[in-house]
């Protein structure tokens, strides 16, 4: 019976192209001024002609209409912009051929499929009907547009409620990173990746993280997200927690955030403190970078802070024993000890005996004969020498020594 319906519909289509109907349609169009009524008259004529055709074939008009209705119900309605489900028939190097039940198969560009998703022949896939026919006569389908339309309402709701959404960073592009968001692509600008400036985007590829949607454009299918906004919210929350429990004398763990000539700024978890160069070590250091690098995790002691806890002073040497404790026992008078020259002046050189303990060798104590015109004529910074302890001033944290020749 289905074959008869198809054959009869073909005959009906042939009849609709007859000269008689075309001439009748043109005549009616002239009489009515070319409005929509002539098309209605043509349809009536087609129905009458179809009825005559099926009467000649042994079918009544009622039987024909009933059979045609059953046939119509077996056919899908296809409109541009609709989302339909199709079956993958073929996969080539650059495209995927999909059957959606239309008279011809549709084609999808292969790049529309996630590179991390395996696709196989026979898989079901939701696609959007983009065009009935391209230059090659193939129906054009889009998986990305179908994915976008499917999740748009959910994404819009998350955006309007200022909620966070989880996304996976897929690949680097100019100016940022492409992120997978509920199966669709979103753009994460470089300036929104982190609180600090990011130079190497590749280190984030493959990372799954919480994001905030900061811009939407449905017409362009454009979604812009921010990781920085999430981090700033977390940082503000952590700052409140840290300030609420911060006390002088506490030992806290922090991260070296920045290094300057006078010290380093330490991130205590949402709030920064200054570790001055003089509080880094009991000994002499030329620059904070000698001891610290950006990103280092260190322990510090809270030395002081202003009202409101806006300026916090930190110390690192305060977590180690005070080196001058028991110095007289370790370096008794007239003992000969080794040391390293760490500084030269017009009046002598400073010699480090241990970290935090330095002694002065006065220019007058450098030689039994003629004193040098300048200490640098005899000693260079870094020289390892032996000295005799002449005196120890614990209160003033001073050692006086004489150069001892080998």
Give the pLDDT of the chain (406 residues) as one tens digit per residue: 444 434 444 444 444 343 343 343 334 333 333 333 343 343 454 455 555 555 555 666 676 667 666 655 544 566 666 777 888 888 888 888 888 877 677 888 787 776 656 777 888 887 777 777 777 767 778 787 777 777 888 888 999 999 999 999 999 999 999 998 888 889 999 999 998 888 888 899 999 999 999 998 877 778 999 999 999 998 888 888 888 888 889 999 999 999 999 999 999 988 889 999 999 988 888 899 999 999 999 999 999 987 766 789 999 999 988 888 888 888 888 889 999 998 889 999 899 888 888 888 998 888 887 778 888 888 898 899 898 888 887 766 655 555 665 5
215 within 8 A of 271, measured Cβ to Cβ: no
Q: What is the tens place of the pLDDT at every residue in 368-406? A: 877 788 888 888 988 998 988 888 877 666 555 556 655
pLDDT of residue 32: 36
pLDDT of residue 404: 62
Closest CA to 292 of 329, 326, 255: 255
99 within 8 A of 86, measured Cβ to Cβ: yes
Q: Is 46 left (phi over 0), alpha (psi -120 to 50) or beta?
A: alpha
User: 226-231 — which CB contacts under 8 Å span 24+ positions?
Assistant: 226/188, 226/189, 226/192, 227/188, 227/192, 227/193, 227/194, 228/191, 228/192, 228/193, 228/194, 228/195, 229/192, 230/164, 231/194, 231/195
pTM of the shown model: 0.48
pLDDT of residue 355: 84
Backbone angles phi, psi at 54, to 5 degrees: -75, -25
Residues 6+ apart with CB under 8 A from 188: 167, 169, 176, 177, 178, 179, 211, 224, 225, 226, 227
Q: What is the tens place of the pLDDT at every residue in 1-20? A: 444 434 444 444 444 343 34
């Amino acid at each position: 019976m289905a074959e008869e319906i198809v054959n009869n519909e073909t005959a009906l289509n042939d009849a609709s192209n007859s000269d008689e109907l075309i001439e009748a349609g043109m005549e009616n169009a002239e009489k009515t001024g070319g409005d929509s009524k002539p098309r209605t008259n043509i349809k009536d004529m087609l129905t009458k002609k179809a009825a005559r055709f099926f009467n000649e074939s042994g079918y009544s008009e009622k039987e024909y209409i009933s059979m045609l209705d059953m046939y119509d119900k077996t056919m899908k309605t296809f409109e541009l912009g609709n989302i339909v489900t199709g079956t993958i028939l073929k996969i080539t190097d650059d495209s995927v051929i999909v059957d959606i039940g239309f008279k011809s198969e549709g084609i999808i560009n292969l790049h529309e499929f996630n590179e991390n998703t395996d696709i196989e022949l026979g898989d079901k896939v939701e696609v959007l009907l983009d065009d009935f026919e391209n230059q090659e006569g193939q129906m054009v389908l889009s998986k990305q547009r179908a994915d976008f339309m499917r999740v748009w309402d959910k994404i819009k709701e998350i955006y309007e409620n200022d909620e966070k959404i989880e996304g996976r960073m897929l690949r680097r592009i100019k100016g940022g990173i492409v992120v997978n968001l509920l199966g669709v692509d979103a753009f994460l600008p470089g300036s929104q990746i982190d609180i600090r400036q990011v130079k190497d985007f590749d280190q984030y590829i493959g990372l799954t993280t919480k994001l905030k949607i900061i811009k939407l454009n449905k017409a362009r299918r454009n979604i812009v997200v921010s990781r920085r906004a999430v981090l700033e919210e977390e940082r503000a929350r952590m700052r409140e927690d840290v300030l609420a429990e911060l006390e002088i004398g506490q030992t806290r763990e922090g991260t070296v955030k920045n290094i300057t000539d006078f010290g380093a700024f330490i991130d205590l978890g949402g709030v920064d403190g200054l570790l001055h160069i003089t509080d880094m070590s009991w000994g002499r250091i030329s620059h904070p970078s000698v001891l610290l690098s950006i990103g280092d995790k260190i322990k510090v002691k809270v030395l002081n802070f202003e009202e409101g806890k806006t300026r916090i002073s930190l110390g690192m040497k305060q977590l180690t024993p005070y080196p001058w404790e028991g110095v007289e026992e370790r370096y008794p008078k007239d003992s000969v000890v080794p040391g390293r020259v760490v500084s030269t002046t017009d009046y002598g050189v400073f010699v480090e005996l241990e970290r935090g303990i330095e002694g002065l060798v006065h220019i007058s104590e450098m030689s039994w004969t003629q004193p040098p015109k300048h200490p640098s004529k005899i000693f260079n910074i870094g020289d390892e020498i032996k000295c005799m302890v002449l005196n120890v001033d614990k209160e003033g944290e001073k050692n006086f020594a004489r150069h001892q020749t080998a």
